[in-house]
Structures are given as structure tokens and as C-alpha cells.
Amino acid sequence: MPKFFKKNNASEAVVGKWDLSAGDEGFDAEKAKKRDKVKHIVKEVLVYVFLTLCALLAFVPFYWMLMSSVKTEMEFRESVPTFFPHEFQWKNYWMIFHQVTSTTSGGASFGQILINTLVVGIMSTLLGLVIIIITAYALARMEFKGKNILFAIMLATMMIPGELFTVSNYITVAKLHMNNSYTVLILPFLVSVYYIYLLRNNFMQIPNSLYQAAKVDGLSDMGYLIKVMIPLTAPTLISITLLRFIGTWNSYIWPRLVNTQPWQMITNWVTGGFVDRMQPDGFSLYGGYFGSTPLDSLKMAAVCMVSLPLLILFIFCRKYIMRGVSKSGTKG
């Protein structure tokens, strides 16, 4: 025991000697801590500055669109652009409601095109959601011959470019004479393999014990789907609903391809010519000064009006979109 204590004291003496000999040239933990803290603060500041610059760059096009929508056409066409209007021309938005396109295929007003978009968007979303839920449930829970082969074929169609479907769908629609109707805008796009795949994966993660308990309680497959599976996968269903409606709202090529102007969608209407011709109700911004030349300020106002509903929808529902895509219905 005495030897052990002697040894221990000797080692402590060595350490103490080393610490004393190091003096001011030794490791200063306090300085190192302050230095790391400064590095961390500088790193955080640089990251936030970079993200702020990226956000500003992303916001510039929206700011330009908004400011241009309330400029006069003369100011918009100035050689030196202005980033803030000298005079706010709020009548640009009022002119949108009075604008009626005039083409050989027939004119269309903002109200008519808006009704077309809402009818197609709501019907396409609701019918598509029913098909997606039933198909995903069958592929996730029901057992039948060829289920895996059918699912593999469905996934394989996702690798085919959408333009090929557009060509084949157009040929089919032309032969059936379905042009200029709501049906041709709704029917070809009711089925979405991606959303079926997404919802099927959510359904498969719901424990089998819930299904067996439901069967013991005498619940049918449809009852189990409505009362158990749909509530558990509500975030995913909400995100699918929103994304489908947004996709329909932004639809451009297909409505322009199969329908004439009175049956087209709101994005087709925005790209039409906004001119200062005298409207049927006698309304004109500049007294016909620009004649049949399209007014870019009116186009900017129309783009703002079309983008506003989607922006509001995303602001209030973004958490459901993110949660539905990133998370599953429940953990098994």
C-alpha cells in the first residue's frame, strides 16, 4: 500500500511539473471555446446571408410581375425599366373582367373560363381521388391472381414520356368526336399511377392487426377502408387532393389541343391577346390608343389573378402537402 501511494504521488508530481512548466504556452481551453463560438456564429451568419440572397433572387420575378400589373402601358414600355410604379393603374384588374377574346373559334370571357377551370378541377380531383383510393386499397390489401404483375405494369408506364400519351389520347378523342366538352378534359387523366403508388405504400404500412380486429367486429372491406384506412392516411390524401387540383388548374397543352377557346382552361385564357379594343360593354383603358396591340401590363395582371388562388392554397395547406409526401399513415 505505501508503494502504491508513493507511485501515485510521483505521477501527480510529474503532471503538476508538466502543467507548471507549460505556463502561458499551454493549451487555453477558454480561448479555444471562444474561438469555436466565434466560428459557429460566423458560419451561421454566412448561411443566413446566403439563404436570404437566394430568397430575394427567387422573389424578384414575383415582385416584377406584381409591380408591372399595376403600371400603365406607357410606363411598362419605357426603355429604362422602373421597379416601382409612378402611377398605380388598378384598372388593369378591372379590365381583365371586361376582356373578351375574339378569334375565329369563338370568344371567351374571364368568367366563362373560370367556370370551366373550376368544374374540370373539382370533378377531376374528386373522381380521380375515388379511383386512386380504391385501386391503392386493392393493390395493398386484397389478394387476387396477377396482382404483382399488374402493379409492375402500372409502374412501367411511369417510364413512358407523357407526350406519347398525349398523342394517343388525342387520336382517341378525335375518333370519338369528344372535342369541346368537359369530358375530354376530365376522363383521360383520372388515373395517376404515381399517386396510386404513394397511397398503396401508406396503406401497406397500416398493421394487419387492425384489419383482423375490424373483421372480428363484423366490418366489411369497404367499411374498413372508409372508417380505418382513410382516416389514418388523411395527410397523404389531402396532399394528393391539393396536388391534383393544382395540376388541373395549371393544365395548358391538353385543353389548348382538344378544345376551342370557349371550352379551354384559365392558363390558356391568360396567354390570349389582351388588347385595348373597345369591349362589348364599351370599356377601354386608353380609348383604343394601342389598337389591336397586346397590352403587357394586362397580361401581368392576368397572371397575378391566376397565381393568387394557388399561392393562397399552398400557404394554408403546405404542411399537409409536406407531411403527406414525407410521412406514412402509421408505423407498423
DSSP state of 71: S
Q: Using only C-alpha atoms, what is the Rg of the chain?
A: 32
> Backbone phi, then psi, for 69, in 5-degree steps?
-70, -20
CATH code 1.10.3720.10 for 91-326: yes
Helix or strand run (H / E) with residue 172: helix 162-176
- pTM of this prediction exceeds 0.75: no
Task: Give the separation between CA 327 and CA 253, rounded to whole angstroms.
Answer: 32
Handedness of CA 111, 116, 121, 126 (dihedral sign): positive
Q: What is the pLDDT of residue 32?
A: 84
CB count, 10 Å around CB of 259? 22
Q: What is the pLDDT of residue 262?
A: 81
Residue 57 CA, distance from chain mean position = 20
Instruction: List, for the chain, all residue ranges whose pLDDT scores fall below the cut of 70.
Output: 1-27, 100-107, 272-273, 277-284, 287-288, 291, 321, 323-332
Strand-pair partners of 109: 100
